[in-house]
Amino acid sequence: MNTHNNIVWHHATVTRSRREAQNGHRGAILWFTGLSGAGKSTLAHAVEESLHQAGCRTFVLDGDNVRHGLCSDLGFSSKERTENIRRIGEMAKLFMEAGVIVLTAFISPFRDDRAYVRGMVGHGDFIEIFCNSSLETCEQRDVKGMYMKARAGQISDFTGISSPYEVPENPELLVNTGKEELAVCTNLVLDLLLSRGVVTSYNANPDEPPCGLHSLTLAPLA
């Protein structure tokens, strides 16, 4: 029996627009993509810290963390990577509908997968941020020791070594995380959110890191 024929969407009385009005900002999906070690998670959490201290509703979906729960049954074959991103996209969409600024930090190596998530939401709701760092720089960082293992043949289907990474062709923002300081990269993302009307303001001194970041111990981009 086709169960899809028996499922009807239930429309809530508390709408996305009402949640956004209460939050004081739009919901949005910030999709950080790039090689392992490019700085996706570090940048996503730095942006979240600034937004959180400015009073925004935020949540970071991190690639490793999600694979401990929601996607713990998936490996790293092309098919499983696609399913991983599909699940993340659906979850990110729910956060966005709740009026939350959701920041996703995933390698998400395939253009078609990223395009699929973009197509799940309305125009302007999906903001692709390419964390651009060379393979050489990422290998030099190798915070988790994964590149060394991949080069030694201990890890298969590793992006950049034995599995491809398809560079975004038209991301909303390209951030040179391999060269720029974290505070500079963070401000670029915050400026983009401001220009796109996701937030109306954030407390940042042009001569200092964004709101709150000057008091934190910033880890290297990873």
C-alpha dihedral over 28, 31, 32, 35, to 10 degrees? 170
C-alpha dihedral over 109, 51, 67, 149, to 10 degrees? 60
36, 41, 50, 108: which one is catalytic? 108
| Active-site residue, 108 included | yes
**Token output for 42:** 């570090």
Task: Name the pairing type of β-strands 58-62 and 101-105.
Answer: parallel
C-alpha dihedral over 208, 136, 153, 111, to 10 degrees? 70
**Residue 74: which residues within 8 A CB-CB, separation 6 or more?**
67, 80, 81, 83, 84
Residue 197 is which amino acid? G
Q: How many angstroms separate the CA atoms of 102 and 173, rounded?
A: 16
Residues annotated as catalytic (active site), given as ranges: 108
